[in-house]
Amino acid sequence: MMQRIIYIFFIFSILISQNDQTITFSKDVGPDNSCGGFQGVRQTSDDGYIIAGCVDDKVWLAKLDMYGEKEWENTYNLPNYWGSNSIIQTSDGGYLYAGWRGIMKVDSSGSFQWKKTSSGVANTYPYYEDVIEHSNGNYYAVGGPVSDKAHMAKFSQDGSLLKRKYYGGNCDDDKFRAIIETNDSMILMAGAKTHGNSQYPCSFEWYNDLWIVKINKNGRVFWEREYGGDYYEEAHDVIQNSDGGFTIIGEKCAATPSNCNNSTKVFLVTVDENGQNNQNQTFQNGGLTVGVSITNTVDGGIAWLASKNMNPPNYHGCWIKKTGSNEESVNITLRGIAENLENTSDGGYVIGTYGGTIHKTDIDFNIGESVSIDKNEIVPQSFILYQNYPNPFNPETNIKYYLQTDGQVSLNIIDLNGKIVKEGYHGYKQAGYHIYRWGGINQRDEIMSNGIYVYKLAVNGYIQTGKMVLMK
């Protein structure tokens, strides 16, 4: 027993020390001639970042390395009048953008592959707010309104439109803002549904409920739920929790439209896997406070990002709140409006703002302090074991490592009792980068339970470890 305790303590001491290798920075990366900075910021499989914005009312994409330095940037002939909406990395290493005037695919170097554009007058053409790549290989994009309804579009990998479906009631401005694939390979969409009131049965925009809809991969509704009061609620982002339920973040105004600027609050809704047992909270930091983005944390909690009015008027800052093993509220003043928060492979976070700045933080949201390391200081001397990505993960994750020289490699997955649950790889590997993909199964091909696991890499007798979180 004592040996096991010592081993577990050793593992966690190594995991804690890994935070000392966190890269942090603040970078102005938006184009000089911008039409709204950018909104989409995502970490890529090489631990860098892909960002999306606009220049001269056209889509602008840029790829950054792990230090925030540009590797490439391109402008594309796709209208983008209102800034960017969503950008993701696809399974082939390329990138998929979805925005106000269409959807576009580029390869890993940013070279154009295909696009599908939308046409018509405002509020009649299908615009997109968010996009995912489903495990079935197709792309799903959501937005609205088309003929007063929210919509979902399904595309093949070559850009063919496979299906478009419409959702909502008969009032104006039903819309979806976010989409995720669920643990059961279905799809959850989140946004706002107009309900009006006795005086304004279908009042544009101001009488909405926060709205989530679960569909299958063909677009058939499995269930839908609305949450809110008499006035205005809207969802901006959604995640699935470790227990199978969902947490949705957005905004709530419990006042007439003319008074909303001073009374808007963060609206946080937590439900079970069926959208039931609604638990909701509101938060406010000063005047106008809008919840815009939410992510899982490596310690099993959540972190969310809100935009808030600051002094002087029309100056915006970012408010971050984290819950988990340690609950804390962090106030960070940033130029521009808060747009995007995502956890990163090293346990930290990346924050994007509408003003064209990204901030890479450590796990405690520190920037540029003792945890920062120089780019030239981490040249591999023997081998490097990287943080798995994604983390937390479901159903699979990638474990990347670098060998400076050829050598004998052993990679195992270990539970917190010190037991090897999966022998990943044992044998000879040549120098260079390598990736092991773990699908959350043990040596007998049985599905593992939720929890924290350790991956242990031994190269020529030297050992490094990392921590990962399986969430189903």
Quote the pLDDT of residue 198.
59
User: Is there a contact between 441 and 423 (Cβ–Cβ < 8 Å)?
Assistant: no
Cis previous bond, 313, omega within 30: no
Cα 73 from Cα 114, distance rounded (Å): 17
Position 18 pLDDT exceeds 60: no
Where residue 7 falls among pLDDT bands split at 50, 70, 90? very low
Q: Single out the residue of 247, 368, 357 nearest to residue 297, CA to CA.
A: 247
Percent of the chain with pLDDT over 90: 32
What domains can you pick out in the chain, each with its CATH number? Answer: 24-361 (2.120.10.30), 375-470 (2.60.40.1930)
Residue 115 has pLDDT above 90, yes or no: yes
Q: How far is CA 258 from CA 206, 253, 262, 457, in A?
A: 10, 11, 9, 60
pLDDT-based confidence at residue 269 (cuts at 50, 70, 90): very high
213 has pLDDT over 90: yes
Mean pLDDT of 81-94: 81
pLDDT confidence of residue 259? 66
- pLDDT of res. 185: 92
The pLDDT, as a whole number, for residue 184 is: 92
**HEC string for 210-254:** EEEEEECCCCCEEEEEEECCCCEEEEEEEEECCCCCEEEEEEEEC
Phi and psi at residue 146, to the nearest 5°:
-120, 115
Q: Nearest CA to 103 among 174, 179, 35, 47?
A: 179
The pLDDT of residue 22 is above 60: yes
pLDDT at 320 over 80: yes
Neighbours of 419 (CB within 10 A): 10
Task: Give the other-Cβ count within 10 Å of 158's Cβ.
Answer: 8
- How far is Cα 99 from Cα 86, in angstroms, rounded to an integer? 6
Residue 4 is predicted with a pLDDT of: 42
- The arithmetic mean of pLDDT across residues 370-381, rounded, is 41
Q: Which residue has the higher pLDDT, 44 or 314?
A: 44
Mean pLDDT of 123-145: 86
- pLDDT reported for residue 378: 40
pLDDT band of 153, cuts 50, 70, 90 = very high
> Can you give the pLDDT at residue 144?
81
The yes-or-no verdict on residue 142 having pLDDT over 90 is yes
**Banded pLDDT at 263 (limits 50, 70, 90):** confident
CA distance 290 to 310: 13
pLDDT band (50, 70, 90) for residue 134: very high
What pLDDT, on the 0 to 100 scale, is given for residue 124? 56
**Cis check: omega of the bond before 395, within 30 degrees of 0:** yes
Instruction: Inform me whether the pLDDT recorded for 19 exceeds 70.
Output: no
What is the model's pLDDT at position 328?
A: 63
Q: What pLDDT shows up at residue 375?
A: 43
User: Which of 44-48, 71-75, 232-236, 355-359 is least confident?
Assistant: 355-359
Give me the mean pLDDT over the 354-382 stretch: 62
The pLDDT tens digits for 276-298 are 988 888 888 777 788 899 998 87
Is the distance from CB of 372 to CB of 24 less than 8 angstroms?
yes
Whether 154 has a pLDDT exceeding 50, the answer reads yes
Res 382: pLDDT: 67
What is the per-residue pLDDT for 100? 81
| Structure confidence at residue 326 as a pLDDT band (50, 70, 90) | low
Report how far residue 32's alpha carbon sits from residue 48's, in angstroms, rounded to the nearest whole number.
22
Which tens digit of pLDDT belongs to each residue from 180-201? 999 999 999 999 988 766 566 6
**H or E element in which residue 262 lies:** helix 260-263
Average pLDDT over residues 414-439: 87
Question: If you write DSSP's letter for every residue of 38-51 in order, what string do you get?
Answer: EEEEEE-TTS-EEE
The pLDDT of 424-433, averaged and rounded, is 87
- Is residue 225's pLDDT more than 80? yes
Highest mean pLDDT among 35-44, 60-69, 219-228, 359-368: 219-228
Q: Order across the sheet with 407-414: list the strands.
A: 420-429, 407-414, 451-459, 462-470
Q: State mean pLDDT over 133-156.
A: 88
Q: What's the number of CA atoms in the CB half-sphere (13 Å) around residue 243?
A: 11
pLDDT above 70 covers a percentage of the chain that reads 78
End-to-end CA gap in the chain = 30
In this structure, of 76-80, 223-227, 258-262, 368-372, the range with the lowest mean pLDDT score is 368-372
What is the model's pLDDT at position 127? 84
pLDDT at site 17: 39
The strand ranges marked E within 376-419 are 383-385, 397-403, 407-414
What pLDDT shows up at residue 331? 64
**Mean of per-residue pLDDT scores for the chain:** 81
Q: How far, in Å, are 121, 141, 151, 176, 248 from residue 127 at the CA level?
A: 11, 9, 9, 10, 22
Binned at pLDDT 50, 70 and 90, residue 38 comes out as low
